[in-house]
Chain A
Amino acid sequence: MKIIKAPLSTEDIEQLKMGEEVLVEGVIYVARDAAHKKMVQSIQVGEDLPFDLQGQLIYYAGPCPAPPGKVIGSAGPTTSGRMDAYAPLFIERGLKGMIGKGPRDKGVIESMQKYGAVYLAAVGGAGAYLAQRILAADIVAYPELGPESILKLTVKDFPCIVAIDSQGNDIYDRPNGSEKK
């Protein structure tokens, strides 16, 4: 299976095609609802973000606490659609990839095409399995948000499928599949 290194290069992104199964390796950032809201507020008032979005991959997740002897608890993807309101602004600011589960709206897909970004789906509900592919986890920002804090993860052999590629091909866009909003 193809291995892709995070942060992603422009060539990597262009080559990734919808439906392709990949293994992610490298550094990715965990952020979900509350962290997105805070980051957007920071952008609006011109504050620095907790991490530079340039070239990065954000993983939509809210892991369980780490049991003793483990770097992280169960850590599967959450529903990406809830971040659709925030994602285009991040993509405009340099975000190159997102990992989550479920479909994205038109606004996100159009931004991905315009700025060259990719959306990967991980297996939802496989948090115990995916946690084993996470080698390190550190809190980067917003510890007060608990499970919604921003984390920096080092991952290896983290299985994903290219759900929406940078040309806008969408695995969820099937005649009988999930409806487009």
Chain B
Amino acid sequence: MRQVHVENISKAIAEAVIEANTNLPGDIKDALQGALERESLASASNCLQIILENAQIAVCEKVALCQDTGLVAVNIELGQEVHIVGGELEGAVNQGIRDGYQRGYLRKSVVNDPFDRINTGDNTPAIIHIHLVAGDGLHMTVFPKGAGSENMGQLAMLKPSAGMEGVKKFILKVVREAGGNPCPPIIVGVGVGGNMEKAALLAKQALFREVGQKSSRPELAAIEEEMLVQINAMGIGVQGLGGDTTALAVNIETYPTHIACLPVAVSLGCHCTRRVTVDL
């Protein structure tokens, strides 16, 4: 059994949340640069320039890209040959978030209860998903997601007869209703199949796929491209202010489902979609 001390987990999570909040992933930067080169509306170009400059300022000055430094989702793939020592895993993750948000001057945006709504003051608790896997690895992804985009996600339990056309209609409906709220240009994460919560998890997982990387299933890759073209033709544009750039990517993930189910979830990632992976 390989031993991993909780202090190392906390330390890695603290560094990861600071990194995620200050350094925009390279694939998103490249996609924004590409969008700037294609954009035909002057005011949208100006916004894209500000967004790219913002990423530069954030990384150079170590300040948050966006003031909404999010509620942190942490996905953990824990090898079954790993023995966590010195404490418990979820406590260590939350301690890392507490430390990172304090040290990184990141905003604390978590309230204790959906009705009482008292700020917990340290951005915990995180949303933690743990999967036990083979081997002795410890793979963690941190995903601090702001509420502007999170609030625009939707889920539908379609009838199987709705098929691919129904899924496409739902994707377009969610993007249209979201308009400028999720801070376009957005990344559209789509989860199809499984059950209710699996579809939502798949949609989030889809946001983790790098922009430009298509689905490994050619028929889905074609749908992703078709959706991207149709979404960009809607004219919502950067920040909802019009123009050619509404989405940078549409990523679709699937899973086996029940004979009577066709769940579909759409999660929207803002132009500041922050994600960092750590291996311990």
Contact = CB atoms under 8 A, between A and B. Distances in A.
A21 B61 CA distance: 27
A128 interface: yes
Interface stretch (A47-55, A89-97, A109-117, A168-176): A168-176
A78 B272 CA distance: 14
A159 B239 CA distance: 14
A103 B148 CA distance: 12
Given A103-B181, A147-B107, A174-B242, A75 B235 contact: no
B178 interface: yes
Interface residues of B, number: 50
Contacts of A163: 241
B25 interface: no
A147 B235 contact: no
Contact of B51 (A70, A125, A179): A125
A102 B105 contact: no
Nearest to B234: A176
Interface stretch (A7-15, A38-46, A57-65): A57-65
Interface residues of A, number: 46
Given A65-B107, A123-B50, A172-B180, A78 B68 contact: yes
A73 B151 CA distance: 23
A125 B146 CA distance: 9
A131 to B, nearest CB: 7
Contacts of A26: none
Contacts of B65: 74, 125, 127-128
Nearest to A34: B117
Interface string B253-272: 00000000000000000111
Interface stretch (B52-60, B134-142, B201-209): B52-60
Contacts of A125: 51, 54, 65-66, 146, 148, 183, 270-272
Given A123-B47, A126-B53, A128-B55, 8 more contacts: A62-B67, A73-B106, A74-B65, A128-B57, A128-B58, A159-B46, A174-B235, A176-B236
